[in-house]
């Protein structure tokens, strides 16, 4: 079984577009992890003027990186797939937003597998703030491709 740091290292992202700090828990049915939004991130400069709020698309990306890609890496590894490089194509997302996320705020993403077949993963994903308030939730699906060296 891969450890949490190995999963994060396999992600096809790097700073400033890596939105996974920690994986808290993972098993064949789901994953949970955290990310803290750095107040110095460029997207806060203009969203919104004098009142910075994390853009919804960044929240979706955070949910996808933790709840879909990290989880997919784990599932592919558990199935015995040799993985040198992971590629993911987000195929759909349907997210409802309930609370804003502000600079320096830490969020927790929890994802539950709906299905994983033919390298397509679909999950029910929720994001909470540290007050355990629901920030957003929905469904995210994507195709996972693996490149292996020969």
How many other C-beta atoms can be found within 10 angstroms of the C-beta atom of residue 44? 20
d(CA 49, CA 111): 32
Q: Which residues are catalytic?
A: 47
Q: Which 3-state string (H, E, C) describes the chain?
A: CCCHHHHHHHCCCCCCCCCCCEEEEEECCEEEEEEECCCCCHHHHCCCCCCCCCCHHHHHHHHHHHHHHHHHHHHHHHCCCCCCEEEEEEEEEEEEECCCCCCCCEEEEEEEEEEEECCEEEEEEEEEECCCCEEEEEEEEEEEEEECCC
């Amino acid at each position: 079984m891969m450890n949490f740091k190995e999963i994060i290292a396999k992600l096809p992202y790097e700073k400033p577009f890596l939105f996974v700090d920690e994986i808290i828990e993972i098993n064949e049915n789901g994953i949970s992890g955290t990310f803290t939004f750095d107040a110095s991130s460029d997207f806060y400069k203009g969203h919104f003027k004098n009142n910075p709020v994390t853009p919804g698309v960044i929240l979706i990306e955070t949910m996808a990186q933790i709840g879909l890609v990290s989880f997919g890496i784990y599932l592919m590894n558990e199935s015995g797939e040799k993985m040198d490089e992971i590629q993911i194509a987000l195929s759909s997302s349907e997210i409802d937003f309930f609370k804003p996320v502000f600079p320096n705020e830490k969020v927790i993403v929890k994802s539950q597998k709906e299905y994983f077949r033919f390298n397509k993963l679909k999950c029910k994903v929720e994001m909470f703030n540290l007050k355990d308030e629901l920030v957003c939730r929905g469904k995210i699906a994507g195709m996972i491709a693996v490149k292996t060296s020969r």
